[in-house]
Amino acid sequence: MDDTDSDKILIRTVIHWDGKRQTGFRHECVYTVWGNGWVHTENAIEPYGDLPVLPRLGVRFALPGSYGGLEWYGRGPFESYPDRKAGAALGRYRGRVGDQAEPYIFPQETGNKEDVRWASLINEDGDGLLIVPDTPLSFSALPFTSDDLDQAKHQHELISKDEVFVSIDFKQNGLGNKSCGPEPLEMYLLHPRPVRFGYSLRPISGTREKPEVLARFVFDPKLANAHLDAEETREWIMGNRKADYIDPSDPDARRQAGYSH
């Protein structure tokens, strides 16, 4: 507990992932838990040792499989990667978690979305979780893990689990065209280096809140306490939206920003 501020709880974790030949990663994460249920995470990942180019660098967590409704504001509607996203327009998209994987003959990395500003995962009642990166990041939500993809040799061996595996990556390595062409260009290679990134997790109710609206708000730590009920919180955030973020798919946001149409 932070003794200087009773409105929040700070949780700090440090994990060392040790590999072979004195290589690995140090991951420090600070969770700030506000009284209204919002959680902000600040991540610092430091690779060490003689590591090769990395496939990805970020975090992963799991949700119950009932949260299978996906919506995001980023590249879409199909998968995109750092060197394969020019054809994926920036916009607002929705779908099911179970439909995000491409059915490649040989199972492999799939389902990533680039330049994601926010993403929500909801159940049939419209309740769920809103993920808001501090800066646009890579994001995916799939019914199986990267390990499952690595182990499967054919599509019928890839069995969906009753979970949603969420990946939030600072960056992914470029794809290149290794099967019949060159490696990724140097500018798309993910060389091991220390990185920092953050994101917030916010509970959302589809019957009361729109993700595109809630994602625009910056929450004031002074008001983030358990004494604020849901209505008071909504009244406060309506007056504290991010001035530099306008969702072009939201007519109300465009009008409030001064656009005539």
Domains contained in the chain, CATH given: 8-256 (2.70.98.10)
- For residue 172, report the phi and psi dihedrals to the nearest 5 degrees: -115, 155
Residue 258: pLDDT band (50, 70, 90) is low
pLDDT grade for 208, boundaries at 50, 70 and 90: confident
CA–CA–CA angle 256, 258, 261 (5° rounding): 95
The predicted model gives 193-197 an average pLDDT of 95
The predicted model gives 27-44 an average pLDDT of 92
Instruction: Give the whole-angstrom CA distance, residue 19 versus residue 23.
Output: 5
Strands (E) in the chain, as ranges, are: 8-18, 24-34, 39-48, 56-64, 69-76, 89-96, 113-116, 118-122, 127-133, 137-142, 163-172, 195-205
Q: Give the C-alpha separation, 138 to 75, whole Å.
A: 9
Q: Which amino acid is at 44?
A: A
With b meaning 16 or more CB within 10 Å and e meaning fewer, what string describes 200-220?
bbbebebeebbbbbbbbbebe
- Whether residue 178 is predicted with pLDDT greater than 80 in this model: the reply is no
pLDDT band at 217 (very low <50, low <70, confident <90, very high): confident
Q: What is the pLDDT of residue 153?
A: 95
For residue range 84-112, what is the model confidence (pLDDT) as tens digits? 999 999 999 999 999 999 999 999 999 99
In the three-class reduction of DSSP (H, G, I as helix; E, B as strand; rest coil), residue 21 is classed as: coil
Is the pLDDT score of 186 beyond 60?
yes
Calculate the average pLDDT of the chain.
Answer: 84
Q: Cα–Cα distance between 58 and 165 in angstroms, integer? A: 13
* Contact between 190 and 53 (Cβ < 8 Å): yes
Residue with tokens 């849901």, as numbered in its chain: 230
Indicate if the pLDDT at residue 33 is higher than 50: yes
pLDDT at residue 47 greater than cutoff 50: yes
* The pLDDT value given to residue 213: 84
Q: For 111-163, what is each residue's pLDDT tens digit?
A: 999 999 999 999 999 999 999 999 999 999 999 999 999 999 999 999 999 99
Give the Cβ contact number of residue 142 at 10 Å: 23
Query: For residue 164, is pLDDT > 80?
Result: yes
Instruction: Please enumerate in sequence order all residues whose Cβ is within 8 A of that of 196, keeping only pairs 6 or more positions apart, or say none.
Output: 42, 43, 44, 45
pLDDT at position 240 over 60:
no
